[in-house]
A = this chain, B = another copy of it.
Amino acid sequence: MNKITIDKSKNVPLYIQLYSQIKRFIENGSLPGGYKLPTIRSLAKELGVNNITVINAYKLLEQNGYVYTKVGSGTYVCEDIKKEEDLDETFKLTDQGEIPLRKGIINFASSSLNPELFPVEDFGDLINRVLRRDGGYAFEYQDTRGYKPLRESIKEFVKKDEIFTYVENIQVISGGQQGIDVVSKALINFEDSIIVERPTYSWALASFESRGAEILEVDLQKDGINLEELEDKLKKFKPKFIYTIPNFHNPTGIVYSEDKKKKLIELAEKYETYVLEDDFASDLSFTEEKILPLKAYDKYDRVIYIRSFSKIYMPGLRLGFIIAPERLVSSFLKAKYVTDLSTSGLMQRAFDLYLRENIWKSHIGEIKQVMKKRFEKMGKGLQTLKNYVEFEYPKGGFYYWLRLKNNISAKNLYSKCLERNLLIVPGDMFFAIKKENNFIRLSFASCELEEIEKGINILKEVLEGESNENGIYLPII
């Protein structure tokens, strides 16, 4: 612990300085899991600070999942803190490499529809119309903000979600991930804090981390983020933004209550920060309930709204948009320029017609029907696994998020399922700091009904085997 330096002339509170440095030692492995931290008194003395500084730092470390306290014994570093290498693992899994996506595999991991559901014919016709109409102009560099008629169509498109905005606030992007990347470039400087939900989408985390951000997790409850914990962290860390997926959350499927949506925005206003809303599946609701994006409630212009067209239309479009708070429009524009100059003009022009002529409406109608059947099929199957898993029914989107009972390890389960030609996603990749090894995510986005049935059966058999191996259900006669 002798490498810690406290700089009293800095603008950062001493306990935060101490927290950050210990945190980094834990993350890079110099303080390994199980390591006992110095006592409060001795560390305070060594650093020449008050006891209360060390107490506050240790408390924060505990709140953020880095250490735990054993009463009467001291403070210890947690096991399973995420390391740099874990990104490699996540990567291997989500990379569409040859091994996981071998033929005949049942894919409960995919976050996009199976290609048979894509509106390819409609889209092919639109591409040809654009080629005839615009010729080479469809292949020029486009305005970095996006092709203006498309931005007009988007402005109209989002009215159904009660978002009322201006063409000037719309930034076209090449898919949702690029949106996250552009916002990160524009807003995150080295060592800035960012708040994320626990758990959350792993490639958003990777993007924030790549900018050198300090990630802070706040627990997700059934109706959305834990507001008390959030406010506490907003106060202490003054984060650049709060990243959230308020509807059909990835991976948990959670939808924020309307009340929490409103309160989240109030908190962003109160602490003068932003909310980055990642909306990848708003159109894919299975209920009659009105579920609106956060942005629809954004009376303070605090919500950065990213909407991807990849998940529901076609990933290959590489198309989406940001609706930016007025103050951020020009910084996003610059970041987009640095990122790739502009988005494909051909795709923008074809998709403009797709929106403008309301072709999307019949497509979405069909997709919803198909997805709802898959959702029900998987839900019914999962009912039969209640001995092994706990879950909630999502109201839309693609995902079931399962907590494994009986200490079953998600990683073992993943490997065993893969041996049986079933691909699932172990949940640890969705945690920013302390990994959890007893969750899995199942997606029904790309599987036909028979595949869902088959997959669930495999899962059941594997779970039964696992439980037996662990000896948990061996009857004691």
Partner-B contacts on A (CB < 8 A): 87-88, 91, 94-97, 112, 114-118, 120, 123-124, 127-128, 131, 135-144, 174-175, 177-178, 181, 185, 189-190, 203, 206-207, 210, 212, 310, 314-318, 330, 333-335, 337-347
Query: Contact between B128 and A124 (Cβ–Cβ < 8 Å)?
Result: yes
Query: Contact between A135 and B120 (Cβ–Cβ < 8 Å)?
Result: yes
- The docked-state distance in angstroms from the alpha carbon of A210 to that of B139 is 28
23 contacts between A and B (CB under 8 A): A91-B334, A97-B143, A112-B140, A112-B141, A114-B136, A118-B135, A120-B136, A120-B138, A136-B314, A141-B315, A174-B174, A175-B340, A175-B341, A177-B337, A178-B340, A203-B337, A206-B337, A210-B335, A315-B341, A316-B344, A318-B340, A318-B342, A344-B344
Known: A115-B135, A135-B120. A338 touches B140 (CB 8 A): no
Main secondary structure of the interface of A (DSSP, over half): helix
Q: Which residues of the other chain, B, contact A178 by a CB distance below 8 angstroms?
A: 339-340
Output the least CB separation between A190 and chain B (Å).
4
Q: Which residues of the other chain, B, contact A128 by a CB distance below 8 angstroms?
A: 124, 128
Query: Contact between B345 and A143 (Cβ–Cβ < 8 Å)?
Result: no
Of the candidates B87, B181, B190, which one forms a contact with A340 in the assembled complex, judged by CB atoms under 8 Å apart?
B181
Q: Which residues of the other chain, B, contact A344 by a CB distance below 8 angstroms?
A: 316-318, 344, 347
| Chain B: CB-nearest residue to A207 | B338
Of the candidates B88, B177, B337, which one forms a contact with A338 in the assembled complex, judged by CB atoms under 8 Å apart?
B177
- The docked-state distance in angstroms from the alpha carbon of A115 to that of B178 is 27
Query: Contact between B177 and A139 (Cβ–Cβ < 8 Å)?
Result: no
Query: Contact between A139 and B120 (Cβ–Cβ < 8 Å)?
Result: yes
Residue from A141, A177, A315 with most neighbouring chain B CB atoms (10 Å): A141
| Chain B: CB-nearest residue to A330 | B88
Q: Which residues of the other chain, B, contact A139 by a CB distance below 8 angstroms?
A: 115, 118, 120, 123, 314-317
Output the least CB separation between A21 and chain B (Å).
14
- The docked-state distance in angstroms from the alpha carbon of A174 to that of B174 is 9
Output the least CB separation between A313 and chain B (Å).
8
Output the least CB separation between A61 and chain B (Å).
23
Query: Contact between B337 and A91 (Cβ–Cβ < 8 Å)?
Result: yes
Query: Contact between B177 and A341 (Cβ–Cβ < 8 Å)?
Result: yes
Query: Contact between A340 and B144 (Cβ–Cβ < 8 Å)?
Result: no
| 10 closest residue pairs by CB, A with B | A115-B136, A139-B316, A139-B314, A118-B136, A190-B190, A178-B340, A316-B345, A141-B315, A124-B131, A177-B341
Output the least CB separation between A84 and chain B (Å).
11
Query: Contact between A141 and B346 (Cβ–Cβ < 8 Å)?
Result: no
Q: Which residues of the other chain, B, contact A345 by a CB distance below 8 angstroms?
A: 316
- The docked-state distance in angstroms from the alpha carbon of A307 to that of B341 is 15
- The docked-state distance in angstroms from the alpha carbon of A124 to that of B134 is 12
Q: Which residues of the other chain, B, contact A212 by a CB distance below 8 angstroms?
A: 189-190, 212
